[in-house]
Chain A
Amino acid sequence: MSLFINISLNGITNGMIFASLALALVLIFRATRIVNFAQGAMGMMTTFIASSLLSQGVGYWWAFLAVLTIGFVFGALVERVLIRPLRGKSELNPVIVTIGLLIVLEGLAGAIYGNASRGFPAAFSQSGLSVGHTKIAFSQFDVFIFGAVLVLMTATLVLFRATTLGLRMRASAFAGEISRLLGVRVGLFLTLGWALAGVAGSLAGLLVAPTSSFGPYYMDLILVYAFTAAVIGGLESPVGALLGGLITGLCISYVGGYLGPGLQPLGALALLMVALMTRPEGIFARPTARRV
């Protein structure tokens, strides 16, 4: 029984990590209708910068803040330089450009920082919390991950539902021409969407690094599972990203624990296909009317 509890807790922790990156994907999709395949790699790059800062003796929380800011700027830069020229053209182009960015970032990280094994510290203790006499597979750091993701999700929700800023961002994404005619600075809000996603991606990178093999490729699989989580939840819904993340995390934890570790991606694929067959727009997306 305790094995089941531990496997479930592991699934929840993994799920929160997927949700953190999934939120970044949702932010970008909601703001610009594009899926950013380089989101994980951007988070990887900013985490490498954090690692450099830490090794220079900068305090953890200062490095944390610095890197979130860098993520903001990085996201904005990518949108202006790489994504803006593609506006109005085929939907394949941003996919390829973000894939190209993914390849470049991984190559740069490998070239600058090298292949050597390295670790990345966690913000809080990774020792399991004690429930009664046993230590469970949930630590202070896991609580922090939980909290950070909840805060991020709430902030995203509030932004989009309750602020004028969010309304303008959604308008810019959905109906760019009309918004421009109404005086909304569409370009600015697209960039802002990417900038905020950059912050979320940096946060995800910092949360994932302590518990994975920190290197140029460590965010690759996380991105794939985060994408699954975001798609299941509906690429437009922050709550969907969180719940999608939890579902994905639990699913692959059970598949890995009970069926075999190599079958985890297959389990995620099965989950994705089932979810998309029943609700092609995702579980939490609002059904869109089709104009014929």
Chain B
Amino acid sequence: MRDTKHTSMGRGTRAVVTGAMGIALAATVLSACSSTPKAATNTPGVTSNSISIGATVPLTGPAAPGYDEIAPAMNAVFGWVNAHGGVNGRKIHYTYLDDGYNPANTATLTRKLVLQDKIFADVGSLGTPTQAAVQVFLNTQKVPQLFIESGCDCWSNPKYPQSYGWQPPYTVEGKILGAYIKTKFAGKKVGYLTQDDEFGQDFIKGLDQEIPSASVVSRQTYDAATLAGPLSNQVAALKAAGAQVVAMATIPAATALAMLPAAAIGYQPQYVISSVGSDPPTVGPLLSSFTQKGGGTAAQATATAGLLNGVITDSYFAPESEVSNPWVQVEKKLLNDYAPSLYAKYGLDGNTQYGVALAYTFVEALQAAGKNLTRAGFLASMANSGKNFVTPGFVPPSYSNSVHFGFEGAEVIKLSSATSPAVTPTGSWIGGTPVTSVEVTDTGSGPVTKYTGATSTPPKTLVATS
């Protein structure tokens, strides 16, 4: 009886549902076929009073945590710029689309941005495999692929003149941290725990240039795509090999999934972690599960501070815990004024700082390009004046005709419960203090040397309004 009732109901409903779907699909196809009209200038994405840029970033999916904060933080800077008349009279319109960290999606969405939406440049797109998938396309189309959010050393390649990195290459970080290990922990046994892709491989390349190979007793890896639980086996192997120092190229999730089982078996090596996976407000909550049954924020903070205390990492701009630093203060103000919901949710953490710093760099580059804006001219002025850009970074970007890397310098910092913490809406997280001065190096075999240039301070007025 119940079955026939379903049958007769089913047929009518079936028709309605399929009809609706068919219409919806047709409507989608038709609407997608319309291309947005663009201003009739020679340079795509540029009018006399606006500039359109775009990016593809992971807003959903397992790769989204943390990284989905960057693009909205960039919009805070662009909001400030637009409220003050824009750069050279042009307001910045930033469109970022969700590619879910899938390079096939990146390929489609980037083509949409370039061919249909006619952006001026692809600015601040995230990921090595995703951006590698569109590098050829963007270079063939002569669209600048600016400030790629990845530390791969493949972004500075004369074959692809449109592509530019921004954050320090993983090799540079590896060399700086490796040099620190070589001097401070001479003679100790060193173990590596790295992601088994470009990130880890480039980081190891840097470490191996500094750390004598005889000191490296264990090289463990993990695969980000199949990361299901704690890296207990890798930690057990490091302990069995007797590693007293563990150098890590890990994303924040993996950092926590390594430190937790290590703490469980009482293994407490000296951790030296890449800046990618060491930001306390990002890693901290992941470590809080080490507390029992909740325990509230106090116990959480204690447990986290306990696990992260003494961790060595690197930073290429002033960390969020240095509350008296003028850049930190400016960053907080920008986010609070122009991205209030983002700031209320995350505060100033490593990701929002990254976004603000990257956007600053773009604004500097846009200003240097002048009123008469073309893609070629923009890149030429970056090569000429890149080294003069004022950004939150400790060192100026290395942009030149031959080098397309951004920051190639950082300082080594130590997380310590003795320093003032970084306070965000989610809690109070251990702060860091520098243990070296700012150091610079390259992705090749050059040495790690002390940076002797000037430190930047935030300018009073950032942009020319005419």
Contact = CB atoms under 8 A, between A and B. Distances in A.
A136 B226 CA distance: 25
A225 B59 CA distance: 27
Interface in B227-241: 227-234, 236-237, 239-240
A121 B292 contact: yes
Contacts of B295: 121
Given A6-B232, A119-B286, A122-B289, A217 B62 contact: yes
Interface in B242-289: 252-253, 256-257, 260-261, 263-266, 282-283, 285-289
Contact of A257 (B62, B225, B233, B287): B233
A143 to B, nearest CB: 13
B294 A210 contact: no
Nearest to B232: A10
B218 to A, nearest CB: 11
A249 to B, nearest CB: 10
A210 B289 CA distance: 5
A121 B294 CA distance: 5
A6 B262 CA distance: 12
A183 B409 CA distance: 78
B289 A214 contact: yes
A29 B236 CA distance: 37
Most interface-central of A128, A210, A213 (chain B CB within 10 A): A213
Contacts of B296: 57
B221 A261 contact: yes
A211 interface: yes
What size tier do the contact residues of chain B reach?
35 or more
A262 B231 CA distance: 12
Given A135-B266, A137-B236, A213-B227, A119 B287 contact: yes
A264 B228 CA distance: 10
Given A115-B65, A126-B290, A212 B229 contact: yes
Nearest to B264: A128
Nearest to A17: B229
Nearest to A217: B62
A264 B289 contact: no
Given A121-B289, A127-B263, A135-B266, A215 B62 contact: yes
B64 A115 contact: yes
Given A6-B232, A54-B294, A215-B62, A117 B283 contact: yes
B265 A137 contact: yes
A116 interface: yes
A136 B265 contact: yes
A120 B289 contact: yes
B103 interface: no
B161 interface: no
A14 B229 contact: yes
Given A7-B236, A116-B65, A117-B252, A209 B229 contact: no
B38 interface: no
Nearest to B238: A3
Contacts of A137: 232, 236, 261, 264-265
A88 B61 CA distance: 35
B286 A128 contact: no
B60 interface: yes
Interface string B29-63: 00000000000000000000000000000011110
Contacts, number: 158
Contacts of A60: 292-294
A287 B335 CA distance: 65
Interface string A118-139: 1111111111100000111101
Contacts of A13: 232
A2 interface: yes
B61 A217 contact: yes
A256 interface: yes
A96 interface: no
Contacts of A115: 59-60, 64-66, 68
Contacts of B282: 117
Interface in A12-67: 13-14, 17, 54, 57, 59-61
Nearest to A210: B289
Nearest to A58: B294
B82 to A, nearest CB: 27
B241 to A, nearest CB: 9
A88 B263 contact: no
Contact of A10 (B60, B236, B283, B345): B236
Given A10-B236, A121-B295, A213 B257 contact: yes
B433 to A, nearest CB: 24
B426 interface: yes
A117 B292 contact: no
B265 A261 contact: no
A156 interface: no
Contacts of B239: 6
A147 interface: no
Contact of A225 (B62, B221, B228): B228
A215 B65 contact: yes
Contacts of A261: 196, 221-223, 226, 231, 233-234
B209 interface: no
A226 B236 CA distance: 24
Contacts of B226: 221, 261-262, 264-265
Interface of B: 3, 6, 59-62, 64-66, 68, 196, 221-223, 225-234, 236-237, 239-240, 252-253, 256-257, 260-261, 263-266, 282-283, 285-296, 300, 345-346, 426
21 contacts: A3-B236, A3-B240, A6-B265, A59-B294, A88-B3, A110-B60, A115-B60, A116-B285, A117-B285, A118-B286, A120-B289, A121-B291, A121-B295, A122-B292, A123-B293, A128-B266, A135-B265, A137-B232, A210-B289, A211-B230, A264-B223
Given A122-B293, A217-B62, 15 more contacts: A7-B233, A17-B229, A115-B59, A118-B286, A119-B285, A120-B289, A121-B289, A122-B290, A211-B289, A213-B62, A221-B228, A222-B229, A260-B196, A261-B221, A261-B234
A-B complex: 5 closest residue pairs judged by Cβ atoms: A60-B293, A262-B223, A6-B236, A221-B228, A119-B289
